[in-house]
Amino acid sequence: MYFSYIPFIKYDSKPIKYPFSESDYVAAKNFFRRYKVNEDAFSYSVVFKKYSIKDGERLDTIAKKAYGNPFYDWIIVLTNNMINPMFDMPLTESQLRTFCEAQYDDPYSTIHHYETIEYKAGYQIGGIDVVAIKGGLIVDQTYYNTQHKYWNGEEIVSVAGDLVSKPVFMFDYEQAENEKKREIYLLKPKYLNIFIEDFRKSNLYAESTDRINSLIKKTG
What does the pLDDT read at residue 36?
Answer: 55
Quickly state the pLDDT bin for 210 (edges 50, 70, 90): low
If one compares 212 and 97, the residue with the highest pLDDT of the two is 97
Quickly state the pLDDT bin for 195 (edges 50, 70, 90): confident
Return mean pLDDT, the chain.
80
For the chain, the C-alpha Rg in angstroms (whole number) is 26
Tell me which of 82-86, 97-101, 140-144, 208-212 is least confident: 208-212
- 0.85 cut: is pTM over it? no
Examine the pLDDT at 19 and tell me if it is beyond 60. no
Examine the pLDDT at 205 and tell me if it is beyond 70. no
Quickly state the pLDDT bin for 215 (edges 50, 70, 90): very low
What does the pLDDT read at residue 40?
Answer: 53
In angstroms, what CA-CA distances link 51 with 10, 13, 81, 117, 187?
A: 39, 46, 15, 28, 10
Q: Residue 189, preceding bond cis, omega within 30 degrees?
A: no
What does the pLDDT read at residue 117?
Answer: 98
Of the candidates 209, 215, 109, 113, the residue with the CA atom closest to the CA atom of residue 167: 113
Residues 162/144, Cβ–Cβ less than 8 Å:
yes
How far apart are alpha carbons 103 and 101 in whole angstroms?
Answer: 6
Residues 122/153, Cβ–Cβ less than 8 Å:
yes
What does the pLDDT read at residue 37?
Answer: 56
Q: What is the pLDDT of residues 86-139, one digit of tens each?
A: 789 999 999 999 999 999 999 999 999 999 999 999 999 999 999 999 999 999
Of the candidates 2, 77, 35, 74, the residue with the CA atom closest to the CA atom of residue 203: 35
Mean pLDDT computed over 35-39: 54
Q: What is the pLDDT of residues 159-180, one digit of tens each?
A: 999 999 999 999 999 999 999 9
What does the pLDDT read at residue 200?
Answer: 74
Q: What is the pLDDT of residues 38-82, one digit of tens each?
A: 555 445 556 889 999 999 899 999 999 999 999 999 889 888 888
Examine the pLDDT at 216 and tell me if it is beyond 60. no
For the chain, the distance separating the N- and C-terminal CA atoms, rounded to the nearest angstrom, is 29
In angstroms, what CA-CA distances link 26 with 4, 11, 22, 200, 214?
A: 18, 5, 9, 23, 17
φ/ψ region of 204 (left if φ > 0, alpha if ψ in -120 to 50, else beta) reads beta
